[in-house]
Amino acid sequence: MSLPTSFRSALRLPAIAAPMFLVSGPELVIATCRAGVAGSLPALNARPASQLDEWLTQIETARSEAQAAQGSFAPYGINLILHASNPRLQEDLDIVVRHRVPFVITSLGHPGAVVEAVHGYGGLVFSDVIHAHHARKAIAAGVDGIIAVAAGAGGHAGTQSPMSLVREIREFWDGCLILGGAISDGYAIRAAEVLGADLAYLGTRFIATAEARAQPAYKQMLVEARAQDIVYTDVISGANANFLLPSLTAAGHTRESLQAGIGKAVLKDLAEEAKAWRDVWSAGHGVATIHDAPEVATLVGRLRDEYLAACRTPSMV
């Protein structure tokens, strides 16, 4: 296993706050990085692209202030969608390179061109995958890390068990491996490490925080929801993803009609998807253990206590 050097000394927890569409903003990134968890946001959350430049400047200013005051600030990253439906890819990549963003997360496409650009200034590239064969392709393209997005993750998730997916990838990859999928407490973060991952990937848990840009009703729905309230469907965005059933019902959908749509995925254009995700809310199976929406610093402190308790738990041997 291989955790990048830039992460080793800056993290209080082996975790990344995942980039969440329409939810992650500079406030959430700054809060997570200050607390000792790597932060990230989708480039497409900044609209227009010029706002991404402003956000990165805001994050860099906060990093300088935090490093001067407390001596540390965890790495931050930007998620780039590589699919042909994203007309902003090159513009966003140019902004990322200009700001020398510490790490970039690639989704839905071949990361080769991004690897070349980001490695040019010494940054890292992590590619998210839902199958081992996608991981092999990303590794061949020269990425620095693989994000295994397993069953139970919020957003565009896979269907393979995290226990199976991590172990399968570890058979051929000894580089940085990040696991996502229903990780909402410190015990699950430790479990990801035991499986063989270097870092845990937490999305849903950070939606339910004060600094997230989610609507208050969205955060409250997360607090009230349980795992049975999550529906996996391709009807909303054109690609299979996990969503909160109460938000789907409010939008006029039924569980039966949503499940019937699986298998007919055609990616929608970005404007249409943004409109869909504004009112229909995504979450993963990790809602089962989410019971509040605290400030990030409070949450990370709790996660760290749970993680340390899990590390101290004796084995049966």
Report CA-CA distances (Å) from 123 to 8, 41, 90, 103: 15, 16, 17, 5
pLDDT, average across residues 212-230: 97
Give pLDDT tens digits for 185-202: 999 999 999 999 999 999
d(CA 43, CA 181): 22
Give the contacts of 302 (CB within 8 A, at least 6 positions apart): 186, 294
User: Both tokens of residue 3?
Assistant: 């955790």
* pLDDT on residue 267: 43
The pLDDT tens digits for 39-68 are 999 999 999 999 999 999 999 999 999 999
pLDDT score of 277 more than 90: no
One CATH from 3.30.200.20, 2.40.40.20, 3.90.1650.10, 3.20.20.70 for 5-214+295-312: 3.20.20.70
For the cut 60, the answer to whether the pLDDT of residue 89 exceeds it is yes
Least confident of 2-6, 173-177, 236-240: 236-240
Q: 61: which 2 tokens? A: 């200013």
Mean pLDDT calculated for residue range 152-173? 96
Six-digit token string for 203: 């999305």
Q: Which residues pair with 148 in a beta bridge?
A: 129, 179
- Give me the pLDDT at residue 209, please: 98
- CA atoms of 209 and 47, how far apart (whole Å): 23
Average pLDDT for 149-171? 96
Q: Identify the band that residue 85 occupies on the pLDDT scale cut at 50, 70 and 90.
A: confident
pTM for this predicted structure: 0.93
The CATH 3.20.20.70 domain(s) of the chain lie at 5-214+295-312
